[in-house]
Amino acid sequence: MAKTEVILTHNIVGLGGESDQVKVAAGYARNYLYPQGLAIPLTGANKRRLEVLKQRRAEREAHELNTMTELSKSLQKLICVLAVKTGEDGKMFGTVTAGMIADQLKTQLDVSLDKRKIHIEHPVRTLGDHEVELRLNADVVTKLKVRVESTTPAAAPSVEPSAEARKEEHPRTEKRGRRPEGAAGEKAESGQAGERKAGPPRGDRDRGPRGPRPPRGDRPARPERTAQSEKAPRAEKPQKAE
C-alpha cells in the first residue's frame, strides 16, 4: 500500500498534533485528511506554515493543560455513583467499564470525558467505593471516587425465634428423678424411714375435722353376730282339683 507524507494541521488522537509530519496511507490522506482540512501535503510551500502550526499547537496545549488542571481539582471532590444489577447474594453480574463511568460523568456531573482517559487498574466486581485513575493530560493525572450501588432490592432476612421463645412454644416436661442407687441411695432410704418412725404414733394423729381417734380400749364393743334364723319353709301351692 502506497504511503504519503503529510503535515497535520489539527490534533488527531493516535496520530499526532499540529505541525507533525507523519506518513499515512495515500487513500486515507486523499479521502479523509485532505477533505476534512486535517492535513496538508508535505511540500516546500507548505513547510513555511510549520511555524504558524507550532505556535497554534503551543497555545492549544497550554489551554488544555489549564482546563484539565481545573477539572482534576473538581473531580477529586466528587463521587460518581453507578447503579448495577446484582444477584440475591449481592454479587455483580459483570464489571464496571470505562464507558459506564464516562456515561455517568456526562449524565450526573455534566462532564464530557473521553473513556480512553479513564484507566481501571483492577477490575471492579464488588459493591462499595472504589478509585479509578484519570489521565486527563500528559501532565495531569488524578483519582476519581466511584461508588457502586445495587438496583436489586435486598431480600428481607428471616428472623429465627430466640431460645426463650422456643421454650415457651414447646415447654419441656420435667423428668422425674430416679431412685438413688448404691450406698447413697440406701442412706437416703434409711433417713426417710427414720423420719417416718420419728413421727407421732398413728393413733394420735388427727383425723381431720372429726378430731383425734379414741384409744382402742375405750371403743364400744361391737355386738356379736347371732346365728341366722332358719329360713321358713315355703308354703306349698294348693293342688288343683281333678
Gap between the Cα atoms of 11 and 140, Å rounded: 18
pTM for the complete prediction? 0.51
Q: Are strands 79-84 and 140-150 parallel, antiparallel or unpaired?
A: parallel
What lies within 8 Å, CB to CB, of 47 at 6+ separation is 7
Cα–chain center distance at 79:
23
Gap between the Cα atoms of 57 and 12, Å rounded: 12
User: Averaged in consecutive runs of 10 residues, what is the pLDDT profile of the chain (242 residues)?
Assistant: 87 86 91 91 84 89 92 89 84 88 89 90 88 90 91 62 60 52 51 51 51 57 52 54 48
Element (H, E) at 83: strand 79-84
Gap between the Cα atoms of 53 and 39, Å rounded: 11
What lies within 8 Å, CB to CB, of 105 at 6+ separation is 80, 111, 112, 113
Per-residue pLDDT at 18? 86
Gap between the Cα atoms of 209 and 154, Å rounded: 74
CA angle, residues 174, 176, 180, in degrees to nearest 5: 140
Cα–chain center distance at 197:
71
Long-range interactions of 217-220: CB distance < 8 A, separation 24+ = none
Neighbour tally for 147: CB within 10 Å: 13
Tally the C-alpha atoms within 13 A of residue 147's C-alpha that lie toward its C-beta. Answer: 7
Closest CA to 90 of 129, 123, 120, 125: 125
Q: What are φ and ψ of residue 241, in 5° steps?
A: -70, 140
What lies within 8 Å, CB to CB, of 50 at 6+ separation is 7, 19
Which residue do the cell numbers 455483580 mark? 92
Torsion angle of the four alpha carbons 144, 147, 148, 149, in this order, in degrees rounded to the nearest 10: -160
- How far from each other are the two terminal CA atoms of the chain, in whole angstroms? 164
Gap between the Cα atoms of 108 and 144, Å rounded: 14
Q: Which domains are seen in the chain, by residue range? A: 3-69 (3.40.5.10), 72-150 (3.10.430.100)
Per-residue pLDDT at 35? 92
